[in-house]
Amino acid sequence: MITSRSKRFAVLAATAVTAALVLTGCSSDNDSLSKQYGSGTTQNYISGDGAVTEVAADKRTDAVDFEAKDIDGETLSSKELKGKVVVLNFWYAGCPPCRAEAKYLNKVHDQFADDDVQFIGVNVRDEQATAEAFERTFKVDYPTVLDQKTGAMQLALSGQIAPNAVPATIVLDKQGRVAARVLGAVDGPSILNTLVSDELSGKAS
């Protein structure tokens, strides 16, 4: 069940889950999805409007399973991140809303720097040099996975409330389950701050 907590959030109705699964890809098999993600066209994506979808704790499905190397060659594993709230932000350098939201993501990241929170950027289109240039320009201080060739991070969310827009931000709870999604740009720090805080404190449970 997807719930609406206040007027601060533009929350999608329960049918959004079905729509999300349909929009995840034109094909239902992972091989086709992988090829489409790897093509760099992001043709599976629609534009997002910043709507927030939250999933009640008792309605969350299986934990998201992923393992990938970041730009620096460090391995990021969902198993090793259990016990932490994980924020996955899907982006690419030429995306204007991605550029606009970077300062807000940085601010929330910094606010939770001493807590059990891990931010991970997932670049869906760029080569390493382009991604690194973006990170320098916008002072991104959390790891980024280059996902344009395999689509592994995106495929890990297939069958979940998926990142059907760029940018999109997914919050995973401490068990690694999808707790919330912002579909489109984060237009300020407050909503993401609240989503992360609720998972840390257990308010969403």
Q: Tell me the DSSP string of 152-188.
A: HHHHHTTTSS---SSSEEEEE-TTS-EEEEEES---S
Cα gap 112→116, rounded to integer Å: 8
Contact 178, 60 (CB under 8 A): yes
Hunting for tokens 């109705």 — which residue is that?
Answer: 13
- CA distances from residue 166 to 19, 43, 47 in whole angstroms, order as listed: 16, 11, 7
- Give the pLDDT of residue 14: 32
Summarize the confidence of residues 86-106 as an average pLDDT: 97
Nearest residue to 152 via CA among 184, 120, 185, 118:
120
* Helix or strand run (H / E) with residue 51: strand 51-54
Q: How confident is the model at residue 119 (pLDDT cuts 50, 70, 90)?
A: very high
User: Can you read off the two tokens belonging to residue 139?
Assistant: 């002072």
Could you read off the pLDDT of 136-192 as tens digits, one per residue?
Answer: 999 999 999 999 999 999 999 988 888 888 999 999 999 999 999 999 999 999 999
Query: Cis (ω within 30 of 0) for the bond into 163?
Result: no
